[in-house]
Amino acid sequence: MEKYLSYSQEVLEAKEKGLPIVALESTIISHGMPYPQNVQTAREVEQIIRDNGAVPATIAIIGGKIKIGLTDEELEMFGNADNVAKTSRRDLGYLLATKKLGATTVAATMIAAELAGIELFVTGGIGGVHRGAETTMDISADLEELSQTNVAVVCAGAKSILDIGLTLEYLETKGVPVVGFGTDMLPAFYTRESEFTVNIRLDSAEEVADMMRAKWDLGLKGGSVIANPIPKEEALDAGFINGIIEKALVEAEEKGIKGKDVTPFLLGKVKELTEGKSLESNIALVKNNARVGAAIAVALNQNK
């Protein structure tokens, strides 16, 4: 793996000292938020993880290497650079071979984290089964990765632009636990609740760590969705946001936007139609996930 993995000095020292590490994706920087909020949020999220006893490792593809932990200059580069590839499982080999820049999605970040021995990953929301997937077969590679890669994923549930019911069905088929962190209902990214319940409710980082350790000790491959609701004061009204998402979906279909281009288009349109409120919510939920993720990483590290 030395041929393909490169570590920041901070992460390297954390590994040598046996400190808890939290993986972070880079797609949220390159494709998920506008500049300068993207870089500012990335820096603040990293600091939240440090402040809560763990070490952040933002992951990206640079110069034919999977970089585990980015420098401040590299964060800035991913916030501004053109032609950064949105990187999932299928893209990793190509981007490493061609030495092109790649920002990692949930799936690619999970793969890289496992290669680097990192057990906990914090993101905004997971991908899932897209609306209309019964005819388009548009299903995120994130779900398959959750079923086979041993990394726990802290998120604010599934993005409400998805078919949440089918996403849960897919995860159930693949044996992926969906844990509500302090909640019985699955959060839907911008909102604290959806119409769906979680498989398991756990109320502390220690309980989550104990569950994951038992799962992996049994040789049960795959991760888990740790669904952490957006803070109440930052949540959007469900009727309001769902109406906007419906409008955005219609426009995407009219414009023929498909595949991996759908999510960035929908998130951009939602931001436009909510007059920026969705971006504020997105930033708030990622920071909240970072706090919870750091606590779980600390507990996992103590429970090896």
Cα–Cα distances in angstroms (integers) from residue 249 to residues 37, 130, 267, 270, 276, in the given order: 25, 11, 10, 10, 18
DSSP 178: E
Please tell me whether residue 191 adopts helix, strand or coil conformation: strand
Determine the residue type at 141. A
Q: Taking a C-beta distance cutoff of 8 angstroms, is the pair 217, 223 a contact?
A: no
Please tell me whether residue 71 adopts helix, strand or coil conformation: coil
> What counts of helices (H) and strands (E) characterise the chain?
13, 11
* Binding-site positions for substrate: 86, 106, 140-142
Q: What angle do CA 118, 259, 134 make, to 5 degrees?
A: 100
Catalytic residue set = 25, 159
Residue 129: how many CB atoms within 10 A of its CB? 23
Residue 169: how many CB atoms within 10 A of its CB? 12
CA distance from start to end of the chain: 23
What span, in angstroms and rounded, lies between the C-alpha atoms of 282 and 221? 30
Residue 205: how many CB atoms within 10 A of its CB? 23
* Binding-site positions for Mn(2+): 138
